[in-house]
Amino acid sequence: MNLNQLKDEMVQVIKSYHLKGWSPATSTNYSFKDEDGQIWVSRSGIDKSQMTTEDFMSVNTDGEASPEYTGVKPSAETVIHCVIYELFPDVRFILHSHGVFPVMLSSILTNELIVQGYEIQKGFEGVDTHEVKCIIPILQNNQEMSYFKQELAYKKTQLNHGCFIIKRHGTYAWGSSLAEAKRHLETLDYICQCEFLTNN
Ligand SMILES: [Zn+2]
């Protein structure tokens, strides 16, 4: 798939997620790696209902704008994307959501979400039955990107289901394909809804 097709597919997903209420007030960010391994990330401050293919910019592995995008600001959370790509070299797509249910659920949990007994947990990488226990890490929120760099590296082995939650902030999910990244994000959001509604 060429670069324009990748951007097009991402824009469609981003707009569909906006319609779910997952990206209010210009929040959330998205990225992908093109066929040459170049990282493309959404620009800062874009209203996701108006997102276009022009709203992606290329960055280096530290999250700094490529020379052709000098002066354009990448999303404030670009470093989180770069860290995920560094930790998991097979990942090509990263999606972020500010869905209400993960935000609400994370405010009543501490360091992890324990998932067991749901059919939909088979949407997570490596899970083929509702009977296993899946643990999804919950990180604290922080405006310092160095915190996420450290914390994600430290928790790498617990990131085996292709996603995590940031407390009172949202979710990140990834995959080697866009379909896989979507599956992880949507599985996590659905489980967060079920868990929150069961307990509240
Ligand atoms: Zn966010």
44-56 confidence digits (pLDDT tens): 999 999 999 999 9
CA distance 26 to 49: 9
CB atoms within 10 A of CB 163: 28
Does the pLDDT value for residue 69 go beyond 90? yes
Task: Give me ligand 1 centre to Cα 118, in Å.
Answer: 27
Task: Give me ligand 1 centre to Cα 38, in Å.
Answer: 22
pTM confidence score: 0.96
Q: How many CA atoms lie within 13 A of 41 on its CB side?
A: 29
Task: Give me ligand 1 centre to Cα 75, in Å.
Answer: 9
Task: Give me ligand 1 centre to Cα 28, in Å.
Answer: 5
Domain boundaries, the chain: 3-199
Strand partners, 166: 139, 170
Task: Give me ligand 1 centre to Cα 22, in Å.
Answer: 10
Q: Report the pLDDT value the prediction gives residue 120, as an integer from 0 to 100.
A: 95
Task: Give me ligand 1 centre to Cα 129, in Å.
Answer: 31
Task: Give me ligand 1 centre to Cα 27, in Å.
Answer: 6
Task: Give me ligand 1 centre to Cα 128, in Å.
Answer: 30
Task: Give me ligand 1 centre to Cα 35, in Å.
Answer: 26
Question: Are the C-beta atoms of 139 and 148 separated by less than 8 Å?
Answer: yes
Terminal CA-CA length for the chain: 44
Question: Are the C-beta atoms of 111 and 151 separated by less than 8 Å?
Answer: no
Q: Can you tell me which residue has the tokens 């020379």? A: 67
Q: Report the pLDDT value the prediction gives residue 89, as an integer from 0 to 100.
A: 97
Render pLDDT for 187-196 as a digit per residue (tens, 0 to 9). 999 999 999 9
Element housing 31 (H / E): strand 30-33
Task: Give me ligand 1 centre to Cα 131, in Å.
Answer: 31
Q: Report the pLDDT value the prediction gives residue 125, as an integer from 0 to 100.
A: 86
Confidence of residue 199 (pLDDT cuts 50, 70, 90): confident
Domain 3-199 CATH (choose: 3.40.225.10, 3.40.50.1820, 3.10.150.10, 3.40.50.720):
3.40.225.10
Query: Checking DSSP bridges between strand 163-166 and strand 134-139, what pairing results, if any?
Result: parallel
Task: Give me ligand 1 centre to Cα 58, in Å.
Answer: 19
Task: Give me ligand 1 centre to Cα 37, in Å.
Answer: 24
Q: Report the pLDDT value the prediction gives residue 126, as an integer from 0 to 100.
A: 87
